[in-house]
Amino acid sequence: MTTERASGARIHVVRFAPAKLNLTLAVVGRREDGYHALHSIMVPLSLGDALTASASPPGAVRDSLRVTGLALSSAPDNLVLRAIAAAREVVAATWPGAPADPPPLAARLAKRIPVAAGLGGGSSDAAAAIQAALAVWSTTLDPDAMASLAASLGSDVPFFLAGGVALITGRGERVEALPDIHGEPLAVLLVTPQVAVATATVFGAYAAGARGSDERAAEISEHLAAEMRAGGLTSAALVVRTAELAGANDLRAAAASLVPGLAGFLTALEKLVDRPVCQSGSGPTLWTLYPTLAEARKAARFVRLGAVNGTLPLVGTGEPFIAATTIAARHAPPSAEPPGRTTGTIRPRTVHNGFDAGGHGPAGPAAEPTESKGDRLDES
């Protein structure tokens, strides 16, 4: 089956690409392949990008990508285009239209996740691109082939294919699904200074000795993973332990060593919100937890005011990206073909994966993020 039907209709497949948060990030060794071995608990957020894909118009000879929202290059090395190309190579011999290659795709990415911020935006986009491409081409991959494809594109990509709270080990390729956090959706305040930090550079600084004095990240991460496996972790309990989580990222000192003013920014942010502040991934995104989205939104407005009046010192090129969002629950994307539809006229349609693509998060008011100035998408 192709996306062009006898009626001339085209399927537009939409995949939500959530940001991620590292609740913990422990570096537990160095692997023979040169990567660092990790022990990290990661959660998907309701803040994310939206990727739309369809078969390219007749005559197109290559995949294309249009990006709206936050600035991001759509050059051939973009992870979305790389993911589509890699997926095509893997399925070319076995997809329903073989021996012809799967057709070129036209993709559009509505970008809301800050780039090089420790939120996994590029990896999430790559995972969404794999899923969208397979749906458009009406084919699938077995779990091992999918895992291998994801790992070839980036260490965080396998997590985003898992679709929920998970323990990440190895260099990121080993993903152990963990139970969702019990209770009301946990709210998160995200604050990202306007400075890009390359993950490899941060790991390089860590390897060179930029480390904190209290290296308890592995202990905290292992204990939290055990609690989550037992199914006993509640959102209320996790909020109480935010101070512990603030010490559970081994890359925090390395990021601060590379970004002038980041340490002072973090201290000022803690004073503004009057609670401990954590770092996601390799940074520079900082975060803290709230029991409700309303409280996180109130804090976002307060932080934004601090950035304007100088209470929060600016780092990088301008005001930080500020958003209030929630930790997203696990979901199961529906199949591309609506149940029971096998014959008849096919109208043009958009196939979603269980999220509201207009809001770019799970349906419902609790998932709607609070946006910082300048991060509203151009949906024209």
Pick from 94-98, 260-264, 314-318, 357-361 the range whose average pLDDT is largest: 260-264
Measured CA to CA, the distance from residue 128 to residue 124 in angstroms comes to 6
For 176-209, what is each residue's pLDDT tens digit?
Answer: 999 999 999 999 999 999 998 898 999 999 999 9
Element spanning 105, H or E: strand 105-111
Give Cα separations from 47 to 19, 21, 31, 67, 111 (angstroms).
6, 11, 32, 17, 10
Q: How confident is the model at residue 336 (pLDDT cuts 50, 70, 90)?
A: very low
Q: Write the CB contacts of 271 (distance below 8 Å, at least 6 apart in sequence).
A: none
Q: Catalytic residue among 49, 63, 125, 156, which?
A: 156
Question: In terms of C-beta density within 10 A (0-12 exposed, 13-18 middle, 19 or more buried), how is residue 21 classed?
Answer: buried
The number of residues in the chain equals 380
The domain ranges of the chain are 11-367
Residue 1 has pLDDT above 60, yes or no: no
State which fold the 11-367 domain adopts: Ribosomal Protein S5; domain 2 (3.30.230)
- Section 2-26 average pLDDT: 77
With beta carbons less than 8 A apart as the criterion, state whether 274 and 299 touch.
no
* The two structure tokens encoding residue 323: 């958003």
Alpha-carbon dihedral sign for residues 67, 69, 72, 78: negative
Q: Closest by alpha carbon to 361, among 12, 44, 47, 13?
A: 47
- Section 274-300 average pLDDT: 97
For residue 284, is the peptide bond before it cis, meaning its omega torsion is within 30 degrees of 0?
yes
Q: How confident is the model at residue 9 (pLDDT cuts 50, 70, 90)?
A: low
State pTM to two decimals: 0.84
DSSP per residue, 278-335: EE-TTSS-EEEEESSHHHHHHHHHHHHHHHHHTSS---BSSSPEEEEEEBPPP--PPP
What does the pLDDT read at residue 349? 34
- Section 261-282 average pLDDT: 96
To the query of whether residue 298 is one of the catalytic residues in this protein, the response is: no
To the query of whether residue 156 is one of the catalytic residues in this protein, the response is: yes
Give me the chain's average pLDDT, please.
84
* The two structure tokens encoding residue 261: 């003013």
Residue 340 has pLDDT above 80, yes or no: no
Residue 89 amino acid letter = E
Q: What are phi and psi of 77, to 5 degrees?
A: -85, 0
What does the pLDDT read at residue 329? 83
Residue 106 has pLDDT above 60, yes or no: yes
Q: How confident is the model at residue 75 (pLDDT cuts 50, 70, 90)?
A: confident
Q: Catalytic residue among 20, 63, 125, 180, which?
A: 20
Task: Give percent of the chain with pLDDT exceeding 70.
Answer: 84
What does the pLDDT read at residue 73? 76
Q: How confident is the model at residue 331 (pLDDT cuts 50, 70, 90)?
A: low
Query: Which of 41-55, 263-277, 291-305, 316-330 has the least mean pLDDT?
Result: 316-330
Q: How many CA atoms lie within 13 A of 362 on its CB side?
A: 18
With beta carbons less than 8 A apart as the criterion, state whether 190 and 47 touch.
yes
Residue 349 amino acid letter = R
* The two structure tokens encoding residue 161: 């294919």
What does the pLDDT read at residue 355? 38
Residue 367 has pLDDT above 60, yes or no: no
For 212-240, what is each residue's pLDDT tens digit?
Answer: 877 799 999 999 999 999 987 999 999 99
DSSP per residue, 177-218: E-PPPBSSPPEEEEEE-B----HHHHHHHHHTT---S---HH
DSSP annotation of 109 reads: E
**Better-scored residue on pLDDT, 330 or 52:** 52
